[in-house]
A and B are shown apart, each in its own frame.
Chain A
Amino acid sequence: MIGIQLAGNLTQGLILGGVYGMATMGLSLIFGVLGVVNVGHGAFIMIGAFTTLLLFTQLGLSPIIAIPVALVIGMALGFFFYYTVIIRLTEAPELASLLATFAIGTLLEESVKFTIGTEFRGYNWDVGKISLHITTLPMSKIYAFVGSILIALLLYLWFSKTRAGTAVRAVMQDRKGAGVCGVNVNWIYALSFAIGIGLTVTSGVLLTMFIPVGINPYMGGAYTLKAFVIAVLGGLASPYGAFFGGLIFGLIENGTYTLFALVPSLEPFAMTRFLSFLILLLILLIKPTGLLRAK
């Protein structure tokens, strides 16, 4: 019986982990290229969640259609904030970019609060379920997981097979060297920031496909915290590492619940969080570059 519960929770954890990983790739990409830690990360996830909600409830459009829409909105926001704020901070002390991204996040949260309100909202997108022996999976969760893998794969192909992707990798490795070789570093910064924000906003869509309730202007805070843990787990400057870090985080978070529940008088949820952050601490102590980041 415990085996079935564990297998069920690991399956759920793997799916959630894929979405978590996707939600962290943008954070890692922006840090890897620009060296900017986006503490307003959660606010962009929230924008994606509201995009899905509004398209579904106001226009009756499926969350799958919300994926490209969110990507476009996210990239537009990325370019806007890069050319208005971030461009001035690429050479500034880290504290300046921390404060700026925090301010951007707060601005977005408060804007949504004033225009839409603070209510916790949700939507009902029922596309069936698959009943496995170990657990029941709504198709919307499976779509979210498949969507995450496809987007991660597309990003990988873009990085490895296109000139722009190669230029981004060059800037990540040595921005001065890349500049000397003719790469327009400022454009690569802008493009990377826009793609990073685009990915983050898109992940908001995928997260609501997994959890279609609790959508409100301040929902991003919890995801920001998890994204930082996952990013460190996978290597803060590695988008692929972040994706696999998400998978590992999801498995730990869900899988250990059943195991901790075996210990009498222990609240398993409290322990899973403890374990997540213990792992973070251990990785920072033993392998600060993250588990999956190349040297």
Chain B
Amino acid sequence: MKEYCLKSAIIFMAVFGLLLTTNALAVDKVVLGHPACLSGKFAKAGSQASWGIKACVKWINEVNGGVKIGGKKVPLVYKPYDCESKKEMVTSLIGRLATIEKVHGIIAAYSSGLTLTGAPVAEKYGIPYLSQGGASNRIFQQGFQYAVQVLSPATLYQAGAVDMLRKADPSAKRMALAFEDSEFARMVLRGAEKHAKELGFKIVFNRTYPKHVNDLTPLLSDLKAAKPEIILGGGHFPDGQLFARQMSDLDINVKALSMIVAVTLPAFREALGAKTEGIVGPAQWEFGVKYSPAAAKKVGVPWFGPTNEEFVKLAKEFSGGKTPDYHAAEAGAAPLVFVKAVELANSVEPDKIRAAFNKMDLMTFFGEFKINPDTGLQTRHSMVVVQWQGGKKVIVWPEEAATGKLYYPMPTFAEKAKGKVAVPR
């Protein structure tokens, strides 16, 4: 009897130990939570993000067959809750996702401010936290262990545009910087200023404007007096739209205007029409970028996920036919890299997933992915620069990804009003 009890205990311990070491056996689904900005001030970007994520989750479940873990494929479940673009909602929803929904990973809310707000909560619960719309470098300077950046950091946002303009016009000197006073835009400004000075530009105007601004006339009047040749500016969509419109109102003509966020969105053109001709802007992604399984093979990294065309087609199923922009693409890349990390870790344990992220070097339709192992900051993904030419967005930088040439200098607003377009001959 005694021997029988001992044997039973050993068998029980062995089975229990096996279950503990290969917890993957117990996993029947992988859950990804998301405090999504479906309403409020970031609703536009948040809706795009939602379409992108849903498209890639569908690809993972239907084309990839799910998430491979413990020798079998389990479904990826996406749990979004509307955070109303509010900080207090982000923190409470991350708490809910961690404690009630028991998610295995969290996709951060859109914007650097909301991503930074939610990061300590994700850290508290020890859940991998994917920044898909939080470009600010500061998020990754706080010592968070579970934060991982999918998109290019803010300090590199305008680097491509500055390089491109220096190459287009080696004699250009006078540059003005005017950015929104937000976490993200401050970082863009810092990176742009440093890089521009390195390339020999003289900063003749350097100011910020508050969030939710509804009149930029005083700032732009002073900017005009500084007589810049090139302007770098912007913050988010509404202020970017306002910036370009009021530049036109005040007849401020420069050789080049590069603005973050707003320029890349079709609504920018819809609201401003021909005034957008020649305006450039950096983008995390643009349809037509040359990321493909062949490109991945060329640089020697594995490819994962849908192709550009497949992604756009899938995203349109959720957007009601609207074309996805880079907000959708950067968000869509988040579940792809998360799933790859889970598969590599063969576990849903947070520390194993985070360690797997450090080993990853891959390409998706959004571009390359590799992080700094210590901080989680994105190091491999690169931005593209687009320009409005004849009513269409054309990728003009970097040269290897470009689908057209830069039109420089930009037509004046008076010329644009008379019908001149920024299409190179």
List A residues at the B interface (Cβ < 8 Å): 1, 4-5, 8-9, 12-13, 16, 113, 118-124, 126, 129, 131, 135-136, 138, 141, 210-214, 216, 218-219, 221-223, 253-254, 257-258, 261, 267-270, 272-273
A120 touches B241 (CB 8 A): yes
CA separation between A267 and B180, bound complex, in Å?
11
A5 touches B241 (CB 8 A): no
List B residues at the A interface (Cβ < 8 Å): 39-41, 43-44, 47, 181, 207-210, 212-215, 217-219, 221-222, 225, 237-238, 241-242, 245-246, 249-251, 267, 270-273, 275, 417
A120 touches B209 (CB 8 A): no
CA separation between A272 and B181, bound complex, in Å?
15
**Interchain residue pairs A-B with the least CB separation, the first 5:** A122-B271, A257-B218, A118-B43, A213-B241, A124-B273
- Output the residue of B212, B221, B225 with the most chain A CB within 10 A: B221
Chain B residues whose CB sits within 8 angstroms of the CB of A213 once the complex forms: 238, 241-242, 245, 271-272
Chain A residues whose CB sits within 8 angstroms of the CB of B208 once the complex forms: 267, 269
- A-B pairs with beta carbons under 8 Å apart, 26 shown: A5-B222, A13-B218, A16-B217, A119-B44, A119-B267, A120-B241, A120-B271, A122-B245, A122-B271, A124-B275, A135-B250, A136-B249, A210-B215, A211-B214, A213-B271, A216-B238, A219-B214, A254-B215, A254-B217, A257-B218, A257-B219, A258-B221, A267-B181, A269-B181, A269-B207, A272-B218
CA separation between A288 and B272, bound complex, in Å?
43
CA separation between A91 and B238, bound complex, in Å?
41
Identity of the chain A residue whose Cβ is nearest the Cβ of B414 in the assembled complex: A129
CA separation between A3 and B417, bound complex, in Å?
31
Identity of the chain B residue whose Cβ is nearest the Cβ of A53 in the assembled complex: B271
CA separation between A126 and B245, bound complex, in Å?
11
Chain B residues whose CB sits within 8 angstroms of the CB of A273 once the complex forms: 210
B242 touches A214 (CB 8 A): yes
Chain A residues whose CB sits within 8 angstroms of the CB of B221 once the complex forms: 5, 8-9, 12, 135, 258
Minimum Cβ distance to chain A for residue B88 (Å): 17
Minimum Cβ distance to chain A for residue B145 (Å): 35
A214 touches B214 (CB 8 A): yes
B47 touches A118 (CB 8 A): yes
A120 touches B237 (CB 8 A): yes
Which of the residues B218, B225, B249 comes within 8 Å of A141, measured between beta carbons? B249
CA separation between A270 and B218, bound complex, in Å?
12
Chain B residues whose CB sits within 8 angstroms of the CB of A1 once the complex forms: 225
B181 touches A270 (CB 8 A): yes
A129 touches B214 (CB 8 A): no
Minimum Cβ distance to chain B for residue A16 (Å): 6
CA separation between A221 and B242, bound complex, in Å?
17
A129 touches B242 (CB 8 A): no
CA separation between A171 and B271, bound complex, in Å?
45
Chain A residues whose CB sits within 8 angstroms of the CB of B237 once the complex forms: 120
Chain A residues whose CB sits within 8 angstroms of the CB of B207 once the complex forms: 261, 267-269
Chain A residues whose CB sits within 8 angstroms of the CB of B251 once the complex forms: 129, 131, 136
B238 touches A270 (CB 8 A): no
With A16-B217, A136-B251, A269-B219 known as contacts, the answer to whether A214 contacts B241 (CB < 8 A) is: yes
Identity of the chain B residue whose Cβ is nearest the Cβ of A261 in the assembled complex: B222
With A121-B270, A121-B271, A214-B241 known as contacts, the answer to whether A269 contacts B209 (CB < 8 A) is: yes
Chain B residues whose CB sits within 8 angstroms of the CB of A267 once the complex forms: 181, 207-208
Chain B residues whose CB sits within 8 angstroms of the CB of A122 once the complex forms: 241, 245, 270-272
CA separation between A41 and B245, bound complex, in Å?
26
CA separation between A131 and B207, bound complex, in Å?
25
Chain B residues whose CB sits within 8 angstroms of the CB of A124 once the complex forms: 271-273, 275
Chain B residues whose CB sits within 8 angstroms of the CB of A269 once the complex forms: 181, 207-210, 213, 218-219
CA separation between A269 and B237, bound complex, in Å?
19
CA separation between A253 and B217, bound complex, in Å?
11
Chain B residues whose CB sits within 8 angstroms of the CB of A219 once the complex forms: 214
Minimum Cβ distance to chain A for residue B43 (Å): 4
